[in-house]
Structure 1
Amino acid sequence: MDWTLYETQSKRWRDEGKQYATAINAFVEKGMRDGWDSVEAEPQETRIDMAQEVLKVVRQANESGEITALRKYFPPSYGPLIELIREKGQAIRSVFYIDDNRTVFTVGASWEATTVYLLTRDRFEVLPNVSGVGRSSDGRIYALAYEDGIYTYDGWQGSQLQRFDWPTGLEGITGEWATEPMEDARSITELIPFPDRQRLLLVNATGVYVLSAEGTKRLHPDEATIQEWKEDLEEGEPLQIDMEHGAISRDGKWIAFGSQDSEHLILDAELNIHNVWYPESSYPHYALFSYDNHKVLFNACHFYNGVSIAVPLEQTDSYDTTNKDGSQFIVDDECRIYAGVSWGDVFIVGDAYGYIRAWSTTGEFRWRLFVGSTISGMDISPDGKILLVGTYGGMLHRIRLDMGRDEYTIGTGDHSEERRWLIWKEEQQILAW
């Protein structure tokens, strides 16, 4: 490519990009420091009219393999592409770092047809007949979902460990209220092998399940809750939950889960109830264990906002639904969280507004970084240096942590994006940027 042909466009893109980043950073900083009532009008992106032409440049640079030059002349940005993202975006979730050269992820929301990709450097390969992928919380065991069952493996492409049957969705439902297997029981919101290699946690719109060689056990909603719900459902109407979520601690000792109509729930490894915590906002939405297995972060949402609490996992004789002793504390009172990781003493999460945020496990704010769109998937390398982020805008980001930042960065902290990929509907190929 002759990049001199794009110098005028490039200069405008870079100059206005720097101006916008500076202005929006000052805006957010003042709002967080002094309160949002203290800020004036939010700065506006001025490059939206450039979106179509810049997308053409991105396509050409991919055809010629000049991604380094592309990032130099047209540094990646979210705001100018907002209309294209609304048209072409799709969920990039279940993102897992395999090694420095390979990443696996799922394209499509849990209620849609999904495709699983293996990314090797800049080359993408569809995994045939695979509808979902999962990994154990300790990073050692992978799960792949096929039509005939879910299989677990010792490491990526390692030896097969177990095969699990799909649930029917009828587990825990008695009588003739529902007699046909539920189609959504084969969907995947979360797919997490237990570190013990013998079980699998499956979360979807019909419930939270533990799969094992002995069969499927429903954790949520439990039988008592289902009996209550029967009064509001017509006979034969399928059971469905919203905002379903689940997590397993790295040591495999704890399971955290919930849904829109539950509390924050914790079980021990034997599936006995350990504790119940009331949400600090309207609807339980997400759970994330700390890296050291001592705490769990629970998020509850209200519209696109939310409140996150951190709670201890010390053993108790019976569960407590009052929690008036101060053992819990609010980590954040702004975010609706969709994805996150923990590493060292930090929770790193992605929110509904496109920000990645980090807090210590004791509640101190560390940094934030804007990538745009609702965050839908996240993983971190074992050494804590590479953060992978997928979004509902159809983008996959590879971010190097604590290695410096550039003048186009929106956020705080010394982090820099190494690459992003546009995995968009109706594009002939996945585009690197």
Structure 2
Amino acid sequence: MDELQRQNQENILLKEEVEGLKLKHKEQKLLLTQLTSTMGELVKKIKLGQRSCTCSTPQEEHHTVHVLSEKAAEIEPPDSAPSTSSTLENVQTSPISNTAVSPEANSKPDKLVQTSQVSVTPAGVPSTLTTPEQVKTSRTPLTTGVPQVMHSQDSLQTTDTTSEDETVTEQGVSSGYVAVYPRDCQDLMSSKPMFSGQYTIFPVNASKPFRVYCQVEEGAAWTVIQRRDGGMVDFYRDWSDYKAGFGRLTDEFWIGNEHLHQLTRQATYKLKIDMWDWAGEYYYAESNFVYVSGESEYYTLYAPDNYYAYSGFGGSGLRVHRGSFMTFDHQDPSMISDNCAQKFHCGWWFTTCVRNANLNGRYYSGGYENISTKSRNIDDIYWHSVEQSLKKVVMRLYRTQDMPKRVKGYR
């Protein structure tokens, strides 16, 4: 009898709990309806604001922002987490020997390979956002779609399957306001956590958007421009490959000199280089600004002349290389020296064939051409003061000012 009474009491409590949950569900549903209505009104205001905006500068035209209410900024799907829908191409790997990884031993990868889906969804940003592939040069409100990558015979082609009716009203969230066109990874940061991964950006001076890898570290989003790790991608490439970019954003890659130019001319950026040797030692070097000119100037590298503008381990390694970019098939005709890219087996910046840094050199497993004698070759991945060829390198940019730095010879 006591057991029956206890069960009845438990049933009553469960029934009361269910009724409470039903009531709470109705309240949440009502709140969701109200928030949806509010967001709809905000979207209309954003569209109207974009149509009526008169901008005096390309930056204002490119980055019209609209302040959102705190309620709208707090909207976030429950249990948000990074999306893992990105599909990566299969990479055939081969055992790494103690000698250089030659391009003959590995199939030459196509130009910069990018996945067709957004690989990471930052918390607080709708997961249905698409990339601005169809944005017109007039910079009217975005009508965009997710580009599908079609890659054959060393070329990158993108097609867009989204209709003209689809409109993106939010592309990147930054500190409580919406940047309609994300210039770089920092524009994609929001007040909610952002995850490292692939994203689409649209620099001010670019004719179309492109994909990049964003590295999130201590609350800051860096735009990665180069990565070496494993030696499976051949970096001894011609001018057109270095111009367009090559490799895989999730593996080894070069972002492309044209993209580097578009990024660095729109604002002031600092460059950080992360390096690891084969003993596991970590080194870094940082330049407080960097700029890459256009193709007509051979993608010349501009960096500080002042030694104290650099930090880290041998931070001033780039000072010697403040010159034009060179590949084995293309160089500035004003340079009277030999082709440095052929000499050092790379694509890199040079003023003379003096090597103080070469992060695109030949990959040597174990750090040496001959491990037993610990002998090196002049074409390896080099940073001065590091005693062996590097195992891993990451080059990344971070915007420090919204306006380009004005120095002699910089623009």
Could you say which TM-score interval applies, normalised by the shorter chain? under 0.3
**If the length of structure 2 is used for normalisation, what is the TM-score?**
0.28
Select the structure that is richer in strand.
Answer: 1
Greater RCO between the two (CA within 8 Å, min separation 6)? 2
Select the structure that is richer in helix.
Answer: 2
